[in-house]
């Protein structure tokens, strides 16, 4: 009888621990690159050739993979939320409450990056941090979720997968992986002003067409006449002018989005179609008689869609 009481107590404690398993401890990182603090002081930083600014102890690593620009962006998809990483938590005396639904967050602020000091360590999601992947840490975005990050100085954008918590110092809003920061062009300064926009699963990722280098030749000089003719709208023969509504890496995602657009827009006098090029499946609307007609239609659709379709000319 004397031995039963300790056993019962031990079993009770084990059951309580299982039912109230705590969230993984949040890593308090000193985010890289110099940013002036509220008291005007600036943390000590290190600058490596080609590595950018970062705090002592961190950095880009010794063997940076070649062709970081070729590493593809993350692709938004539906994933179950992590069981513990989305609970309210406290870091540096401040309480953070993660949001539960992706696609309803947009903020501007300073983003930095974190590197070799944390490479190979566990993130808040339990996954291993890969500084050469397209990931990021954020204080309140769902884990896992996806976000478009835009460098406000250049307009360059990337899509990252949020799988970690942070940053918590110097009023930063996001910590980027080394590759994401490199593709955004903020490695050199160590940080930069960005816009972070949460993306819902299956979000439309607009991909700009690569512009071809025009052939330039000198034209004969023509004396201006008294009445110059009005400019003629550019016409592409064969009905090759379309509006691009989105571009996707998987055909299934493109088909799903095309069905959604068809349901939302209804009869717009043009036909929806899929067009595969450069490893992407594009959702097109058209064809239009010329590029001017396509641009006018894009302006009309902008208010209904929330984004402006891009004029695209098929080969």
DSSP character string of 121-134: SB-TTSSBP-TTSS
- Do residues 148 and 165 touch, judged by C-beta distance below 8 A? no
- Candidates 127, 132, 141; CA nearest to 76 is 141
pLDDT of residue 205: 62
CA count, 13 A, side-chain hemisphere, 294: 25
pLDDT of residue 18: 40
pLDDT of residue 106: 93
* Long-range residue pairs from 66-70, CB within 8 A, at least 24 positions apart, any chain: 68/132, 68/179, 68/182, 68/183, 69/182, 69/183
Tokens of 151: 């460098």
pLDDT of residue 188: 80
Residue 3 has pLDDT above 70, yes or no: no
Tokens of 10: 């031990």
Show Cβ contacts of residue 117 under 8 Å, excluding neighbours closer than 6 positions.
57, 58, 59
Helix, coil or strand: residue 258? helix
Sheet holding 310-313, edge to edge: 271-277, 280-288, 241-248, 310-313
For residue 302, the surrounding DSSP H or E stretch is: helix 291-305
10 φ, ψ to 5°? Answer: -65, -40
| Total length of the chain | 315
- Do residues 188 and 52 touch, judged by C-beta distance below 8 A? yes
- Expressed in percent and rounded to 5, the helix, strand and coil fractions of the chain are 20, 25, 55
What is the residue-averaged pLDDT of the chain? Answer: 74
pLDDT band at 28 (very low <50, low <70, confident <90, very high): low
**What percentage of the chain exceeds 70 in pLDDT?**
69
- Do residues 133 and 144 touch, judged by C-beta distance below 8 A? no
d(CA 143, CA 136): 10
Ordered structural domains, the chain, with CATH: 24-199 (2.40.40.10), 241-313 (3.30.70.1070)
Q: At what angle do helices 251-265 and 291-305 cross, to 10 degrees?
A: 80
Return the minimum-mean-pLDDT range out of 89-98, 149-158, 203-212: 203-212
Tokens of 73: 């962006």
202 vs 258, more confident: 258
Residue 180 has pLDDT above 90, yes or no: yes
């Amino acid at each position: 009888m004397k031995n039963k009481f300790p056993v019962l107590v031990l079993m009770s404690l084990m059951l309580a621990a299982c039912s109230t398993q705590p969230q993984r401890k949040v890593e308090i990182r000193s985010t890289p690159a110099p940013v002036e603090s509220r008291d005007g002081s600036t943390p000590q930083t290190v600058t490596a050739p080609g590595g950018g600014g970062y705090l002592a102890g961190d950095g880009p690593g010794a063997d940076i993979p070649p062709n970081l620009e070729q590493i593809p962006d993350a692709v938004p998809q539906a994933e179950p939320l992590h069981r513990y990483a989305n609970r309210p938590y406290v870091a540096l005396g401040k309480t953070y409450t993660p949001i539960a639904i992706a696609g309803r967050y947009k903020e501007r602020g300073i983003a930095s990056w974190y590197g070799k000091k944390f490479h190979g360590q566990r993130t808040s999601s339990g996954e291993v941090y890969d500084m050469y992947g397209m990931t990021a840490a954020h204080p309140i975005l769902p884990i896992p979720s996806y976000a478009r990050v835009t460098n406000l100085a250049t307009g360059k954008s990337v899509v990252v997968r949020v799988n970690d918590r942070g940053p918590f110092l110097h009023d930063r809003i996001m910590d980027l992986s080394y590759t994401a920061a490199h593709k955004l062009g903020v490695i050199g300064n160590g940080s930069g002003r960005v816009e972070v926009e949460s993306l819902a699963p299956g979000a439309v990722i607009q991909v700009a067409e690569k512009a071809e280098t025009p052939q330039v030749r000198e034209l004969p000089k023509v004396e201006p006449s008294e009445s110059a003719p009005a400019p003629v709208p550019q016409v592409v023969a064969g009905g090759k002018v379309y509006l691009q509504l989105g571009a996707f890496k998987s055909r299934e995602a493109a088909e799903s989005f095309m069905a959604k657009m068809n349901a939302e827009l209804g009869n717009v006098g043009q036909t929806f179609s899929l067009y595969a090029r450069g490893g992407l499946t594009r959702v097109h609307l058209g064809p239009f008689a010329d590029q001017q007609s396509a641009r006018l239609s894009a302006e009309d659709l902008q208010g209904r869609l929330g984004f402006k379709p891009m004029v695209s000319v098929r080969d």
